[in-house]
Chains A and B, each alone.
Chain A
């Protein structure tokens, strides 16, 4: 293990140094149908709790017929592996017991079994006992179908959700996203979602060029399908950037974007007790943009080095004038999440 770790580290350092990899579009550039986050009101839930989930997705093509799906019912899959659910689904379906699901909604509720912790048998000595509930979700520009096989393909090949176009052909990742989110249940332990800082009116804010604060378009579940915001670059030049022919390239002009976030270095109770050492959550923020380019992920809190206040992102100018939507999604390493959106603008060419 040590030798492998050492080699990996050396290879990582050198690969980074020599930069041998190709260039792809950054994950922060939303150019296809994407899910940007799924927020649970209880990232850590207790047995019997009902957990609400809100999905944030975006289709840059603005299609109106996007289908959505939530699929629950997977409890304690082998090895905590998401693909361990496929066999559960298949076996349940074969018995005529279809798992709970919801179509064409952006929210979903699941109730954890009362025995989600006690029924778990795969517990290593000295480790905390917990239960795991996995919820799958999907967005599709065609028609979603569930195909549950009693003997699914090995490993991750047995994915039971497909998205078909009008000709019955499977759609790919530009038009179809399947994902999963995990709800952990530790006895008596909760986890609060990280939060954007809200003012007295309950509105979030972003700091932009010149350190000026602007009001966020939305925070949380309200962001799904939130109406576009007009930006008048003459009146609010601080939220605008000049267009760039290189469309989001690092060489393009940029403005800084920094959402206001409550500094929450929440104690990780499970790890602290396990490690017999106070441990805080690891936190980071993902940025997304529908035009131009922006920083991908930025560190928010490190359990060792603490809070990183320099989590701002650089929005790099797109080539076309118009509004630019920027999403910020905060994560903690225990499944906690929150999201917010702000709209910036690109000035018209003179």
Chain B
């Protein structure tokens, strides 16, 4: 599936046909008589279009619905024979002024009705130059019809956009007005109307075939007219699978729901035959949040410096701070990395990166959509006070391609992909499950191999560490789609492992010596179901059961974690009334767990260096139990005005481990100050201006070690915060949109640590803080050639450990973060992209000590403990980096081959990540980040 679809739902109308007269003078209202036309779509046979083979074929396959032009039955034929060309786009004339003919008095008196068939000659300007009677009706009808028809005004017929003269048959009906029109029967059907546009060019896509399959399995086909429009009336309510077939364009699929008495307007952008594996990474639905950032698949694949890693691309969005080095941390709006949760289709996973940042655990090829909420997120999500990343896995692709990228009605085909780069090998296969009708599958896997070349490189370089991490991940998807409901069963997981014996312990702290053994793994079995319980009630369910293991051993230190997490989500969506939708859900997390920790008590960030750990007594904490964190939420989606959308919600969380319950009311709203139009090219462009804002309470339970009886303090409360945001989105052109959003977080009840009455240190909830900032995004929406954006975030994040404590900058505070990126298709399969970043340097805690003495010697360990100044008061120099990427793709008949070169830090800037000191901290320099790193990848697809 490719391309972008979005939909709007209109209010019920008494007759779907009434819209056909919009912009015309179609309803005769004067007098007692009417010439009200009885448009029947099947009667419209534009003769000119009959000359178009594609349309003719479409007509043979089913009803052909043309765009209505006005009252009366119209047949169009070209004024002059046209040489047959390949798929000319011919648009029939459209009546824009209808002249009411006076009802002949004698005929009216006699109660006569009549139908006059005329042949109208319409010139290139749309004027009727002649109206000849082909089938007279007499009784004064013929003259009246002729006189009126000569006053008609048409939008002229066009061929490939060029007006030309035509002659058409026109039937003018004279009907006596009924005394009173009977009330329309209650609707029993719905309607699906749509317009197709060419993605990137934003031009209408004419002549495309639209195929729908209803809940009863019945198939209907229509073709789009010259304006890209199609209409599917009289549809039974239910979910419809919709496909768009157009030569030269990616196949497109969507699912739409038809409701009784409603007309669903949809607009799709259909992408030209794509370069790259199909991934749709954007799904539009009415927002329940103030801000949701989405990235289109092309953006994800091509952002320089990410090697095509979807989740790494999130780090280029506003509000996301640059993490140190290659770390895969997401630092969202001044929150800690632990403040952001990662979900795979609603099931939380503890980490989405191999080794904290090497690459995502879910490969880009299997992604359907990434939703990223930097703050003020919906009540659907909780337990975090930073941001939310929700990754959706894709539906397996079973479509067949006659030649690569060209659409076909046929399904049941298999696809594959294989890729190798310097880091890993990956493969994907997908298609239908043999012997079944509605089942499809996708299976993918990845295995790292860079340890094979890194080990000799390290040995040659004299490094004391001569081993490299190894990782793998896998995904298996089985999807059942029978129209009315969809069930997807998934299994996915990942493994990371790193083993080494460090025979040269770290001089700074010999605890970092001996056998290092690290491994982590997770596996999830997941079932998703979307069911329509009635025309107004939808049920979405997700159940996942998994197993997480984490082991870290270093000499005598040990951390073992074994979880069997169970996630259960249910959401009922009720359409209560026009403009009122209610979402009620539960979000349960349960997990039997075993944990073992052997370590000295760690300091909290910001505390002075406690000295080497090597000789400190170890503590051990072992715990087993059943973690249970249930939550319930209710959220309303209110659209009291066409331009206003308000989403109030509440969420109640309980954490059995801490024994605390958290209540979180939230309110988000968007208002179109100026309602936009034409961003898709359908009508003259009217830039949209939207105001948006939100306020809400967010709670984050303490971390495990903070409530652990040994390492922490039991029964401490959750961190509380209130998110405020206010912003504006302004379209400048069809392709450029600016959004500016200010945010403020009031952090209270923060977990902190301080001296206790027993002479030790314990955790408390006396911490506080705040984050304020401004996000600006100037985005050039993806076109056929180019995409890019400029993102700038200004922020300040501070903390206090106690009410009387001194305020200090938060560890991950980043004042300025400017990202400029773009990618341009040069043609012939070449694409070039660049990303440039200028970011405030990271913070570090300086070593100051007494005059001239920076450290004390910890004799037992044989190393030094720095005498540190106030936490995070030293900022490293400005970070700046240029990343470049070049892609080249070769397209063959049934497969494609591509390669890329992704160069991180192209001009090899030695960016300072922190201070690094000599053994006694008397000399310091900068620890610099990654040097220039080129990465080459090869990929084959079929």
Contacts and interface: CB of A to CB of B under 8 A. Distances in A.
Do they bind each other? yes
A82 B501 contact: no
Q: Is the interface of B mostly helix, strand, loop or mixed?
A: loop
Contacts of A137: 859
Interface stretch (A169-177, A205-213, A226-234): A169-177
Contact of A173 (B607, B855, B931): B855
A159 B515 CA distance: 35
A260 interface: no
Interface in A292-311: 295-299, 302-305, 308, 310-311
Contacts of B328: 7, 10
B469 interface: yes
B468 interface: yes
B213 interface: no
Interface string A1-34: 1111111111101111111111011111000000
B552 A5 contact: yes
A7 B329 contact: yes
A177 to B, nearest CB: 6
A268 B930 CA distance: 41
A318 B504 CA distance: 22
B462 A38 contact: no
B761 A157 contact: no
Contacts of B854: 173
A226 to B, nearest CB: 19
B620 A180 contact: no
Interface in B493-545: 496, 498, 501-507, 510-511, 513-515, 517-518, 520
Given A157-B849, A335-B860, A275 B620 contact: yes
A343 B928 CA distance: 39
Contact of B615 (A295, A302, A304, A334): A334
User: Which of B517, B555, B709, B860 is most buried by chain A, counting CB atoms within 10 A of its CB?
Assistant: B860
Contacts of B615: 182, 331, 333-335
B501 A305 contact: yes
B739 interface: no
Given A10-B469, A297-B510, A299-B505, A156 B849 contact: yes
A9 B500 CA distance: 12
A279 interface: yes
A16 to B, nearest CB: 5
Contacts of A15: 325, 927
Given A2-B561, A13-B498, A125 B514 contact: no
Interface string A60-87: 0000000000000000101111110000
Given A122-B758, A159-B867, A24 B919 contact: yes
A170 B858 contact: no
A275 B511 CA distance: 18
Contact of A18 (B862, B916, B917, B931): B931
Contact of A11 (B325, B337, B710, B853): B325
B327 A126 contact: no
A337 interface: yes
A70 B863 CA distance: 18
Interface in B604-646: 607-611, 614-621
Contacts of B357: 7, 10-11
A3 B350 contact: yes
A166 interface: no
Contact of B853 (A28, A83, A159, A331): A159
B193 interface: no
B760 interface: yes
B665 interface: no
B856 A297 contact: no
Nearest to B712: A124
A190 interface: no
A55 to B, nearest CB: 8
A25 B458 CA distance: 22
Nearest to B324: A11
A172 B918 CA distance: 14
A127 B760 CA distance: 14
A200 to B, nearest CB: 30
A181 B863 CA distance: 11
A246 B877 CA distance: 33
Interface string B329-373: 100000001100000000000110111111000000000000000
B320 to A, nearest CB: 15
Interface string B693-720: 0000000000111000111000000000
Chain B interface size, under 10 / 10 to 19 / 20 to 34 / 35 or more = 35 or more
Contacts of A20: 910, 913, 927-931
Contact of B850 (A128, A162, A274, A284): A162
B869 A181 contact: no
Interface string B907-942: 000100100111111110111111101000000000
A130 B919 contact: no
Interface in A104-162: 120-128, 130, 137, 154-157, 159, 162
Contact of A82 (B325, B458, B865): B865
Interface in B871-887: none
Contact of B927 (A21, A83, A305, A331): A21
B868 A156 contact: yes
Contacts of B866: 156
A303 B757 CA distance: 36
B593 interface: no
B507 A13 contact: no
Contacts of A271: 556, 598, 618
Contacts of A157: 608, 848-850, 867-869
Nearest to A301: B514
Enumerate the 8 nearest inter-chain pairs by beta-carbon distance, A residue then B residue, closest first.
Answer: A122-B760, A179-B857, A172-B852, A7-B356, A27-B919, A155-B608, A10-B355, A24-B918
Given A21-B927, A157-B849, 16 more contacts: A3-B329, A6-B355, A10-B469, A13-B468, A17-B465, A20-B910, A21-B916, A25-B918, A38-B859, A79-B610, A83-B608, A122-B758, A173-B920, A178-B853, A282-B614, A331-B510
Interface of B: 324-329, 337-338, 350-351, 353-358, 454, 457-458, 461-465, 468-469, 496, 498, 501-507, 510-511, 513-515, 517-518, 520, 550, 552-553, 555-556, 559, 561, 598, 601, 607-611, 614-621, 703-705, 709-711, 755-761, 848-863, 865-869, 910, 913, 916-923, 925-931, 933
26 contacts: A2-B520, A3-B329, A7-B327, A7-B357, A16-B464, A17-B458, A17-B463, A18-B930, A19-B461, A21-B925, A22-B925, A28-B507, A35-B857, A127-B710, A128-B617, A137-B859, A156-B608, A157-B849, A170-B851, A173-B853, A176-B853, A270-B617, A299-B504, A304-B514, A308-B503, A333-B614
Interface of A: 1-11, 13-22, 24-28, 35, 37-38, 76, 78-83, 120-128, 130, 137, 154-157, 159, 162-163, 170-174, 176-182, 184, 250, 268, 270-271, 274-275, 279, 282, 284, 286, 295-299, 302-305, 308, 310-311, 329, 331, 333-335, 337
